[in-house]
Amino acid sequence: MSRTTAGFVWSFAILSIAAFVFTVFRCYHIPLAHDEVATFYYYIQPGSFIPFYAHPDANNHVLNSVLAYFSYRLFGAAPWALRLPQCLALIIYLIVLWQWSKTLHSNASKILLLALLILPAGLLSLFSLCRGYALSVACFAGIVLFIQKSVLNFSIRNLMLTCLWMQLCIASNLSMLYVIAVLTVLLVVGIYFFKSPIKFYIIWTVQVLCMLYWYLYAQFLNAKGALYYGAGNSFWKTTIVSLLQFIWAQPTITWGLMCVIILIGMIVFSGVHQKFMVLKKFKILGIWMSVFITILLCIFFTKTFLAINYPEDRTGLYLYLILAVIAIYALEYNAKVWISRLFVIFTIFMVLPSWRNIHVYNHPWKLYETFPLRFYNTILHESRKDSVLPIIGGHRVRELIWGFQNYQSGGLLPHMYAPEQFQFLCDWAIAYPQDSVFAAPYYLIADRDQHSGFYLYKRTQALNRNLFFKSPQHFIPFTNQEYYTLIDTQFLKPLQGPVLAEWEFKCKAASVPFDAWIVLEYKGIDQQPLYYTRVPMALIRHNFNNYPLWHSHILAPHIKGVHQLVMYIWNKSKANANLHCNSIKLYHLTGPGVDSCSRASL
C-alpha cells in the first residue's frame, strides 16, 4: 500500500467514525421536529404507511416509515429509537462509499468524494432526522456503485442489485422519481447495447412496472394537494439557492456557487480524456451527464406544461448528488493535475464553513426547528403549584413538537394552543425573541435556548376564568360511530372573548392508540362554520384504557359573530370505545392583553 493510499484509508476511517459518533449524539439529544412528529403520528404509531391507503401526504417516506415502525415496536417512541434506521443507513452509506472509492484511481477524485459526500454539514445532518432523505442518499450511493459495476460487468446480478437500490431509493424519497425514471430508460439502452438475453428484459420490465406504481402514487398525492413544495417560479431561487443552503446548512449563499459551476465546466470541457465523452462506448461520466441534462429538461417541461412544482431544498437533493458524481468522475478522468488540485482545495474550503452553525442539540435548518425538553419540564414543574391546568401557547409548527414531548410524559399537560401569531391569552408560550417587545407588558422571559433561539414566556398576571356552562355526567358509547356530539349550545347574543373548554374523561375501553380528535367549533347565527380547533388524542397518550381521570382543556380565541358552540369527538378510525364524561366546563377568559397579539415580523 502506497503512502498516498494509506493516507486516504486513514482519512476515510477517521471521517467515518467521527461522522457516526456525531450522528449518534444528535439522534439522542435533539428533540423531534414537526415533520418527524407528523411521521410518527400519522404513519409510525398506527402502523399505517402503505401507499394509497395511508394518510395522503408527501410526509410519508415509505421506507423510513416502515423501518421506524419496527424500531418503535422494539424500542419505544424515544427520538433515538425512531431515528435508529438513519444511523444504520449511515453505516450502509459509508460502506458503499468505501466500495465506490476502491473503483477510483485518481487521488483527487477520492478526496473529492469525501469532500462532497461526507463533509457537508447539511448532508450529514440528514442522518439524524427521522425522514427518508438520508435513506435515499444511501440508496443513491448504492445505485452509483452498481451502475459503475454494470458498466464494467453487465451481469444479471449487477442489474438486479441496481434495480433494487433504485426501488429502495424511491421508497425512501418519492422526489427521486425523476432520476430513477431516467436511469430506468438508460438501463434498457444498456441491455440492448450489451446484447443481453431475454431475462435481462424481464428484470427491466419488473422495474418499469414498479416505476409505474410509484408514478401513480405521485399522481395520487398530487391530486390530493399533498405535493406542495417548490411553488416558486424562479428555478434559481426555488431550486439552486435553496438546495445549496440546505446542503451547506447556511442561511445565505455565496459567490462560491458560481465558482463551483465554473470549475465544473473547466473540468468537463478542458484537458479530459477523449474516451469518457463518447456515449457510444457507454462510459460512466457520459451516463451521468446525460442523466443530469435529461432531468433538467424534464423539470422545465413538467413545470411549463404540467404545472408541477420545481424541486426545493431537500426535494431537489438528487441534483446535488448527481453533480457530485459528475465532479468525482470528471476528476477521475482529468489529465490536468493542477485543475484537479485546485478544485479539491476550493471544494474543501467551501465545505468547512458549513460547520459553523452545527451542534448536537438542534437541526441546522429553520424548517426543522425544535425546542428543548427543559421548556416542557419547567412548565410541568410550575403547574404542580397551581390548582388549574396551564394554557400553553405556541404555533402550528411547534404544536406537534410539544405534543410529542407531552406524549412521552404521559399527557400530563394540555395540548398546545397553536395560532399563526403569538396571542397573549396563554399562561405560558414558546415563541421567538422578536416577540418579546410586544409581549413585555404581559409576560416575563422564563428561559432562553441559545441553540434553537426560542424563548419560554410566562404570564405575569393570571387570566380570569369565568365559568358560564357546565355539562352533567354522561357516558359516551361508540359503536363504529365517527362523530359524537358532547356539547351543542346556542347563544342569543354573540360570544365575547376567548373560550376555554375544560373536560374530565375516563376511558373504559378504546383502541390502542385511540385515533380520535376532540374538536371545538364556532358557528355563526346561520350555523355557518367560523372556526375550529382540535386535540389529537393519540398524541396525548398511547393507551387511555383504565387510566386515571383525563383532565385537560382546549382553547379558542375571540371570533366575532359566534352564536353557536359545538364540541364533539371525531372518531377517525370508527373504532369501538366507551368513555365516561365527568364534566365539561366552558369559561370566558378575561384579563390584560387577551385580545392582543405579537406583531413581530418573522
pLDDT tens digits for range 96-140: 999 999 988 888 888 889 988 998 888 999 999 999 999 999 999
529 and 551 housed in the same domain: yes
Residues 384 and 352 in one domain: no
Cβ atoms of residues 555 and 499 within 8 Å: yes
- Candidate from 406-415, 467-476, 499-508, 556-565 with smallest mean pLDDT: 467-476
Give residue 279's pLDDT band: very low, low, confident or very high (50, 70, 90): very low
Residues 465 and 426 in one domain: yes
What does the alpha-carbon distance between residue 536 and residue 313 come to, in Å, rounded to a whole number? 30
Instruction: Please tell me whether residues 497 and 362 are part of one structural domain.
Output: no
Query: Domain boundary at 339, 366, 393, which?
Result: 366
Q: What is the pLDDT of residue 276?
A: 46
Q: Assess whether pLDDT exceeds 70 at residue 216.
A: yes
Reduced to 3 states (helix: H, G, I; strand: E, B; else coil), residue 361 is coil
The CATH number of residue 443's host domain is 2.60.120.660
Residues 513 and 538 in one domain: yes
Which one of 366, 383, 407 terminates a domain? 366
Least confident interval from 109-123, 183-197, 453-467: 183-197
pLDDT band at residue 275, thresholds of 50, 70 and 90? very low
Contact partners, residue 533, CB within 8 Å, separation at least 6: 417, 519, 520, 554, 555, 556
Q: Is the pLDDT of residue 221 over 80?
A: yes
One domain for residues 400 and 543: yes
Are the C-beta atoms of 430 and 417 separated by less than 8 Å?
no
Residues 356 and 494 in one domain: no
Q: Is the pLDDT of residue 597 over 60?
A: yes
pLDDT for 100 equals 93
**In this structure, are 413 and 294 located in the same domain?**
no
Q: How far apart are CA 65 and CA 132, in angstroms?
A: 8
Per-residue pLDDT tens for 478-533?
777 889 888 898 888 888 889 999 999 888 788 888 889 999 999 998 888 999 99
The size of the chain, in residues, is 602
Q: Are residues 331 and 403 in the same domain?
A: no
pLDDT bin (cut points 50, 70, 90) of residue 264 is: low
pLDDT band, very low/low/confident/very high, at 288 (cuts 50, 70, 90): confident
Same domain assignment for residues 344 and 382: no
Please tell me which residue, 42 or 451, carries the higher pLDDT value.
42
- Identify whether residues 335 and 385 lie together within a single domain: no
- % of the chain exceeding 90 in pLDDT: 46
Going by C-alpha positions, the residue among 123, 131, 43 that lies closest to residue 538 is 43
Distance in angstroms (rounded) separating the CA atoms of residues 29 and 361? 6
Distance CA 351, CA 327 (A): 15
Q: Which of 344, 366, 388 is the last residue of a domain?
A: 366
Count structural domains, the chain: 2
* Domain span including residue 435: 371-602
Residues 309, 407 within the same domain = no
